[in-house]
Amino acid sequence: MWRKVLLIACLILFPFAAAQAALEITITHGVNTAAPVAIVPFAWQVQGPVPNTDVAAVIGADLTRSGRFKAIPDKSMLEKPSEASAINFTNWRILAVNDLVIGRIKPAGNANYQVEFQLFNVYTGQQLLGLSVLTTPQGLRWTAHKISDLIYQKLTGQRGAFATRIAYVEVSGKAGKDSHYALVVADSDGFNPQIVFQSNEPIMSPDWSPDGRYLAYVSFENQRPAIYIQDIYTGRRQLVSERRGINSAPVFSPDGKSLAVVLSSSPDNPDIYILNLAGRVLQRVTHSDAIDTEPVWSPDGQSLYFTSDRGGSPQIYKVNLHGGHPQRITFDGSYNARARISPDGHTLGMVHREAGQLHIAVMNLSTGALLTLTNGDLDKSPSFAPNGSMIIYEATYHNQGVLEEVSVDGQVHERLSESQAGVSVHMPVWGPFLSQ
């Protein structure tokens, strides 16, 4: 029955400090087409107290958060089987549930757990998936996200992005120079926030390395901007650029060997450069007198998209790294900036200004069609989920910076609210798929 056994040895983040604040998800706009699924509470078959992590609840929340499914509440379930032999599919058909997940958690020696789960199609009674996952007690929640990924992929054909991380910058304190900045890494649902760096000076523009191990970011800790790369597992930091003038907007190349950065050391005007991390060789990419900033790599690593006001207003341009002049990409409106590209390279996400308000928009790169996804006043810093299904961004809600997510079709909207008053959240960046 078990097709394979997965070993999930969850990498533990370097324990700097658990963030005081945590994010809470609210689905602010869903879709009627979300398919009902039932995740039956997993049977706890281990000696000892039931853990805090409710695996089935985490899976249900993940699938619901995708906007494509809606987990039915436990209280509507007519039965709560944990073995395939105990399922009466009629009890699920009358609830109009399409898919059913059952599972159990067993001891696995050395205080570890074996989490077994099965996914069934309620109408055919066919088992679609059956797996056993070995995990530690601390890794139980992460294991639930991995199970969500597998179920999501089985049901949609698209890889799930629940067992991924996000990074963001928390700003607390009063306006002016009394603010406190923290660079936080959390699970994709905002759970388990960990501060990896903090400062009384601004922290900006975090970006993940393609392997999800490093964060590049800008820190003003020495009263001037400098770009650092930090290993989030060991905490080790490396200064990579502290040149005169601007050091801004670092983004890792798809192979992780270079950073595109913005410098203004020669002359006093921001241009885009590529910094090879091994040899620290600097290659200048743009040469305009205008502002050139916010670079992002195409998925093939052959070109960069960036923001420039060379045409009079900020617009997105694309430059081939093997030569040729930058080509203007956006034409709708007077302010299109900070592009991010979908993992398949077909869609450009950006900040689009309309009537003085900033919204998140996506542009189909084949047709040039622009679709505005959000309607806040100050929506910015878009970042694609690694499966391309959602965009996370920062927004303003009740005068506070919060994170929001929107599906790339604009249908599903949700808010990750900061639980602590006076703390604003900015510059989210969704990490890559992780191998474990």
Partner 1 sequence: MKVLRSGLLVLTIAFFAAGCAKTVQPVTAPPVTTAAPASTAPTTSTAAAPAQTQLSPLDDPNNILYKKVVYFDFDKSNIKPEFLDLLTAHAKYLIANPNQKIRIEGYTDERGTWEYNIALGDRRAQSVRRFLLFQGVNPDQISTVSYGEAHAVCSEHNEGCWSQNRRAVLVYLNQ
Q: Which of residues 357-396 bind partner 1 (CB under 8 A)?
A: 358, 377-378, 380-381, 396
In the complex, the smallest distance separating the C-beta of residue 396 from partner 1, rounded to whole angstroms, is: 6
Q: Does 330 bind partner 1 (CB under 8 A)?
A: no
CB 253 within 8 Å of CB 270: no
In the complex, the smallest distance separating the C-beta of residue 14 from partner 1, rounded to whole angstroms, is: 26
Q: Return the beta strands (E) in 72-193 as ranges.
A: 99-107, 113-121, 127-135, 165-172, 180-187
Q: Which of residues 389-428 bind partner 1 (CB under 8 A)?
A: 396, 399, 426-427
Q: Does 356 bind partner 1 (CB under 8 A)?
A: yes
State both tokens at 30. 């869903």
Interface stretch with partner 1, choices 105-113, 119-127, 317-325, 349-357 (CB under 8 A): 349-357
In the complex, the smallest distance separating the C-beta of residue 11 from partner 1, rounded to whole angstroms, is: 29
In the complex, the smallest distance separating the C-beta of residue 119 from partner 1, rounded to whole angstroms, is: 41
Binds partner 1 (CB under 8 A): choice among 52, 110, 223, 366: 223
Task: Please state, in angstroms and as integers, the Cα–Cα distance from residue 3 to each residue in 6, 115, 128, 132, following that order.
Answer: 10, 14, 11, 8
Binds partner 1 (CB under 8 A): choice among 293, 303, 315, 383: 293
* Cα R_g (the chain), whole angstroms: 23
In the complex, the smallest distance separating the C-beta of residue 168 from partner 1, rounded to whole angstroms, is: 12
CB 314 within 8 Å of CB 338: no
CB 151 within 8 Å of CB 103: no
DSSP, collapsed to helix, strand or coil, labels residue 177 as: helix
- State the number of CA atoms in the 13 A half-sphere of 52 facing the CB: 3
Which CB atom, from 231 or from 354, has the smaller least distance to partner 1? 354
Cα separation, 27 vs 6, whole angstroms: 31
Cα separation, 37 vs 29, whole angstroms: 19
Interface stretch with partner 1, choices 81-89, 138-146, 151-159, 263-271 (CB under 8 A): 263-271
Query: Residue 416 carries which DSSP code?
Result: E
Residues β-bridged to residue 400: 397
Q: Does 194 bind partner 1 (CB under 8 A)?
A: no
In the complex, the smallest distance separating the C-beta of residue 339 from partner 1, rounded to whole angstroms, is: 10
Q: Does 243 bind partner 1 (CB under 8 A)?
A: no
Cα separation, 141 vs 302, whole angstroms: 38
- Please report, as ranges, the residues that interact with partner 1 according to CB under 8 A: 174-177, 179, 202, 204-205, 220, 223-225, 245-246, 248-249, 262, 264, 268-270, 291, 293-294, 307, 314, 335, 337-338, 351, 353, 356, 358, 377-378, 380-381, 396, 399, 426-427
